[in-house]
Chains A and B, each alone.
Chain A
C-alpha cells in the first residue's frame, strides 16, 4: 500500500503529537492507503501505558482521531477539526505489541458538507478488533483554519498550496470544494 502525502509535511517543523516525525514526545504515526480508507500500524511502549502493560485509552483515542482526521484531509483537501469522538474499548491493548488502526469515511464525504463523519477500528496482529471509534469532523476553508492555527505567513502559504493540490474527492476546478463558513 502507498503512503499518502500529508499536507503537513511541507511544514519543516510541524509538531503534531500523533503524526509528526519532528516531535520527540509524539507517537510518530505513519499512514498507508487502504482500499477502504487509511491505516496506520503502531506499537506503543511502556511510556504510553496506564495499567502496567496496558496502553492508555486516551492514546488510543489519539491514534483513532489521527487516522480519521488525516483520512478526511487527504480525501477532501480541507482542514478538519474534531467536533466529537466516541470510543468503544473492547479489550485492553497491550504495550509493546503491533496493532493496526483503519479509518473509513462516513456520511458527508461526498456532498461538500461542512460536517463529515468517520469511523475507526483498531485490530490486533490476528485481525481481531480491540477498539472502535466514531467521530464527527468539521471541514473548514483554509481561511477559517488559518485563524485558528499558529503559522507564519510563509508556512501558511505553503500549507495552503499543499492542501490545494491534495487529490480530493470533492475538489473542483477552483480548488477544494466550498464548505459553509459557519465557524
Chain B
C-alpha cells in the first residue's frame, strides 16, 4: 500500500472514530462499519459527507450504500481522486 493510500485510510479512520464517537484504536481496516456500536444510517452518512468535504470528491450513492469497511471506503475515495485527476 502506498503512503498516500495509508494517509487516506488513516484519515478515514479518524473521521469514522469522530462521527461514531469510538476510539480510533478500536477500528481496523476491515471493521464492519454498520456493526460499530452507535453506528446508524445517519451517522454513516455524516461520515460520507465529511469524507466528501475532506477530499472534495462526490461519491456515487451506489458505493456509499454498499461499502462496509474503512478499507472499502478508502478504496472508493482513491478511485474518486483518480477520476478527478484524469
Could you list which residues of chain A lie within 8 angstroms of chain B, going by C-beta atoms?
86, 88, 90-91, 106-107, 119, 121, 129, 132, 134
Contacts and interface: CB of A to CB of B under 8 A. Distances in A.
A88 B49 contact: yes
A67 to B, nearest CB: 16
Q: For chain B, which range describes its interface: under 10, 10 to 19, 20 to 34, or 35 or more residues?
A: under 10
Interface of B: 42, 45-46, 48-49, 52-53, 56, 58
Contacts of A121: 53
A160 B46 CA distance: 41
Main secondary structure of the interface of A (DSSP, over half): strand
Would you list the 8 A-B pairs with minimal beta carbon distance, nearest first?
A132-B49, A90-B45, A91-B42, A88-B49, A90-B46, A90-B49, A86-B58, A129-B49
Contact of B52 (A88, A91, A107): A88
A106 B49 contact: no
Contacts of A90: 42, 45-46, 49
Nearest to B50: A129
Given A88-B52, A90-B49, A134 B58 contact: yes
